[in-house]
């Protein structure tokens, strides 16, 4: 992603010295471990937790984890080497297929990609730009050959204007036009496309009735949940506040147990222009979200992106959008119960009682980690009954206590400070101003929360905290333990009794990223980590079918090497050991790691290849993946296989 440039949270934690915090946390963890052992918990062998304490796992977690306690290396591949060049790299014995590139046709009648003659109409029938989230929904075979098939669901987060268009020069945005802005809007959103597994490789099925484009313009949406129909979402074009016209900055996302696709709207502030009077009722709200960001010129052509004309318009973005991909005619729904913030992802897991829990990061410096727990239970036998589960439930924000405990605080109107007196007239106000509500509850400001995912079976959750160079020494917190955190870290949450609906838990730090050979960085990895195995700026993550963690980066070039994908041990004596698996071409970040259920295909999104300080359409830093002087670099989804058809990473 393009990051948010700055931060806007005015309610940072109390200042405490690093020494005090470490001392208090160390003491607390010591006591905690003793009590857990007394209660029947097991101390895992080998690597101490990265805070210096032996790692513990509760007996109840072990029941859930099955074979989750490992004493040996869980990955087996030959690491690739650190570096940066014009192409991608995988270990010996692996193959990479470029499956979908920006501009590739998605329908039988799609026009061929012509980078010199781009139109919004063509882009609307083609794969969009800057692929990020990748979801995969298996479908039943529909032929006698029983060909495996499924729907690939891919977010197109944003557009890299200077790399996309031949005639846009350095004085962006002033050289943009209405027609080029329309291309950008059509290149945002998402693509749903059927793929079929033929002769050992996934292929795009252009004739599939499921294929669809979802865009920032001309894609009807509805609003549901507490803010649907609320006056604070009203615009001239939508006086009932019920009809959106698109979605944008869809970063990561999720696939639900009932087979829908969740698109998380992240940096929506960047799309707005104009200004409001200081005393306008929405001014403070917009400031809390960094609106207007002025990254794009859309507001010159569409009043919805000009806050001077449509002061409520920013309240229509920053939501999680649910798409029923099995019904290509369905209207996507913005699920306002999940809160409005700069949503990174929205992966879900079932609680012990069958309710659905979504973990979500708000990716900006000093913002928060959230989760949503549905009111009703998932019914595996009644898909229709699940389709509106996300409209009712409780949104929580995380408070990481310095002593290693975790509290989930409900953003519930009428509870605590979320009252009329504080400007919250109803739950609609709470979800529209989720950040301010979380401020008042005392949530913990984090170092840019990106993807948050639950490890299958263990009741543990991993939070990618990408970096935060704005954190000062006097703002250090035990869960964000480094000032000027240039390389990020990964926090591990252990839920109480392994139940994702629990409102308490514990947290720990899995790794502190960056070069472990540079003492001033205070990086923390398992000493078994090779010089290729450490990284910086964790962003997206995924678990494979064996429950092993994989982490993709956005910002590793600050360590002197390209972004990529790393395998990361979470258990046993090798806990905290990384292994380099995939290296992106120069300029690109790596998104959307997604494994098929059989563990034999890994999909990755390679976003903004060819980007760089002075990179343009004419002079990109690479022309990956086509390497054709007439074709600009193209963000693409790749499929990775083991050459012998075996399990990835084993």
Residues of this chain that bind Ca ion (CB under 5 A): 1, 251, 450-451, 539-540, 542, 554
Decide if residue 450 touches ligand FEO (CB under 6 A): yes
From the list Ca ion, ligand FEO, none, partner contacted by residue 238 (C-beta under 5 to 8 A by kind): none
Q: Closer to ligand FEO by CB, 164 or 430: give it.
A: 164
Number of residues that bind ligand FEO (CB under 6 A): 8
Residue 384 neighbours by CB under 8 Å, 6+ apart: none
Decide if residue 344 touches ligand FEO (CB under 6 A): yes
For residue 102, the minimal CB distance to ligand FEO (Å) is: 17
Q: Please provide residue 303's backbone torsions phi and psi, each rounded to the nearest 5 degrees.
A: -60, -25
Q: Closer to ligand FEO by CB, 342 or 482: give it.
A: 342
Are the beta carbons of 533 and 556 closer than 8 angstroms? no
For residue 412, the minimal CB distance to ligand FEO (Å) is: 27
CA distance 250 to 433: 20
DSSP string across 497-555: GG-TT-SEEEEEEEEE-S-TT-GGG--B--TT--TTT--S-EEEEEE-TT--EEEEESS
Q: Closer to ligand FEO by CB, 208 or 267: give it.
A: 267
From the list Ca ion, ligand FEO, none, partner contacted by residue 157 (C-beta under 5 to 8 A by kind): ligand FEO
Q: Closer to ligand FEO by CB, 450 or 611: give it.
A: 450
Among residues 221, 251, 325, 387, which is the contact residue for ligand FEO, using CB under 6 A? 251
CA distance 626 to 487: 31
Radius of gyration of the chain (CA): 23
Decide if residue 363 touches ligand FEO (CB under 6 A): yes
Decide if residue 157 touches ligand FEO (CB under 6 A): yes
DSSP secondary structure letter of residue 494: E
CA distance 550 to 529: 15
Question: The tokens of 438 are what?
Answer: 């979380």
DSSP H helical ranges for 415-462: 427-432, 434-441
From the list ligand FEO, Ca ion, none, partner contacted by residue 439 (C-beta under 5 to 8 A by kind): none
From the list Ca ion, ligand FEO, none, partner contacted by residue 265 (C-beta under 5 to 8 A by kind): none
For residue 426, the minimal CB distance to ligand FEO (Å) is: 30
CA distance 129 to 591: 13
Q: Please provide residue 566's backbone torsions phi and psi, each rounded to the nearest 5 degrees.
A: -125, 145
From the list ligand FEO, Ca ion, none, partner contacted by residue 367 (C-beta under 5 to 8 A by kind): none
Give residue 625's Cα distance to chain centre.
Answer: 24
For residue 499, the minimal CB distance to Ca ion (Å) is: 22
Q: Closer to ligand FEO by CB, 505 or 592: give it.
A: 592
Question: The tokens of 206 are what?
Answer: 């252009």
From the list Ca ion, ligand FEO, none, partner contacted by residue 451 (C-beta under 5 to 8 A by kind): Ca ion
> Minimal CB distance to Ca ion: which residue?
554
Decide if residue 151 touches ligand FEO (CB under 6 A): no
Q: Please provide residue 490's backbone torsions phi and psi, each rounded to the nearest 5 degrees.
A: -125, 125
For residue 643, the minimal CB distance to ligand FEO (Å) is: 32
CA distance 317 to 120: 22
Are the beta carbons of 155 and 132 closer than 8 angstroms? yes
From the list ligand FEO, Ca ion, none, partner contacted by residue 266 (C-beta under 5 to 8 A by kind): ligand FEO
Binding site for ligand FEO (CB under 6 A): 1, 157, 251, 266, 344, 363, 450, 539
């Amino acid at each position: 992603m393009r990051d948010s440039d700055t931060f806007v949270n005015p309610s940072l934690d109390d200042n405490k010295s690093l020494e005090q915090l470490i001392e208090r946390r160390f003491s607390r963890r010591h006591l905690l471990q003793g009590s857990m052992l007394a209660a029947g918990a097991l101390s895992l062998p080998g690597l101490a937790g990265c805070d210096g304490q032996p790692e513990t796992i509760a007996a109840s977690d072990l029941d859930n984890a099955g074979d989750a306690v490992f004493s040996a290396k869980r990955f087996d591949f030959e690491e690739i080497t650190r570096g940066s060049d014009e192409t991608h790299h995988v270990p010996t014995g692996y193959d990479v297929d470029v499956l979908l590139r920006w501009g590739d046709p998605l329908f039988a009648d799609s026009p061929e990609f012509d980078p010199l003659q781009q139109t919004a109409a063509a882009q609307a029938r083609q794969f969009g730009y800057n692929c990020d989230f990748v979801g995969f929904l298996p479908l039943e075979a529909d032929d006698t050959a029983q060909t495996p098939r499924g729907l690939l669901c891919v977010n197109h987060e944003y557009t890299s204007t200077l790399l996309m268009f031949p005639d846009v020069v350095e004085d962006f945005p002033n050289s943009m036009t209405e027609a080029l802005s329309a291309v950008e809007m059509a290149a945002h959103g998402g693509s749903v496309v059927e793929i079929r597994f033929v002769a050992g490789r996934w292929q795009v099925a252009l004739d599939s009735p499921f294929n669809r484009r979802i865009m920032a313009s001309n894609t009807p949406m509805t609003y549901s949940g507490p803010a649907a129909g609320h006056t604070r979402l009203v615009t001239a074009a939508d006086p009932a506040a019920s009809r959106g016209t698109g979605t944008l900055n869809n970063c990561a996302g999720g696939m639900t147990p009932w087979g829908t696709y969740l698109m998380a709207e992240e940096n929506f502030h960047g799309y707005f222009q104009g200004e409001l009077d200081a005393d306008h009722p929405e001014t403070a709200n917009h400031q809390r979200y960094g609106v207007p960001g002025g990254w794009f010129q859309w507001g010159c052509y569409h009043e919805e992106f000009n806050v001077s004309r449509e002061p409520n318009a920013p309240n229509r973005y920053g939501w999680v959008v649910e798409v029923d991909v099995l019904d290509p005619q369905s209207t996507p729904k913005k699920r306002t119960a999940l809160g409005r913030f700069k949503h990174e992802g929205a992966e879900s897991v079932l609680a012990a009682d069958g309710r659905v829990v979504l973990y979500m990061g708000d990716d900006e410096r000093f913002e928060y980690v959230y989760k949503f727990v549905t009111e009703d239970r998932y019914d595996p036998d009644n898909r229709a009954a699940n389709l509106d589960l996300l409209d009712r439930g409780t949104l929580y924000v995380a408070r990481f206590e310095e002593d290693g405990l975790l509290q989930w605080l409900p953003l519930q109107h009428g509870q605590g400070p979320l009252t009329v007196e504080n400007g919250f007239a109803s739950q609609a106000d709470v979800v529209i101003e989720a950040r301010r509500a979380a401020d008042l509850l005392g949530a913990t400001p984090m170092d840019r929360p990106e993807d948050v995912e639950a490890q299958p079976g263990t009741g543990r959750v991993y939070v990618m905290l990408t970096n935060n160079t704005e954190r000062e020494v006097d703002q250090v917190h035990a869960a964000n333990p480094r000032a000027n955190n240039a390389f990020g870290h990964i926090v591990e949450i252990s839920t109480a009794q392994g139940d994702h609906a629990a409102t308490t838990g514990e947290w720990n730090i899995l790794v502190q990223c960056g070069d472990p050979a540079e003492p001033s960085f205070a990086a923390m990895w398992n000493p078994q980590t090779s010089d290729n195995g450490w990284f910086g700026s964790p962003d997206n993550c995924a678990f494979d079918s064996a429950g092993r963690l994989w982490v993709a980066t956005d910002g590793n070039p600050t360590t002197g090497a390209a972004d990529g994908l790393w395998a990361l041990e979470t258990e046993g004596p090798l806990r905290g050991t990384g292994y380099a698996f995939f290296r992106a071409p120069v300029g690109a970040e790596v998104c959307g790691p997604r494994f098929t259920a059989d563990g034999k295909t890994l999909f990755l999104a390679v976003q903004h290849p060819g980007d760089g300080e002075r990179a343009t359409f004419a002079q990109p830093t690479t022309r990956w993946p086509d390497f054709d002087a007439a074709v600009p670099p193209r963000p693409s989804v790749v499929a990775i296989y083991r050459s012998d058809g075996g399990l990835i990473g084993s």
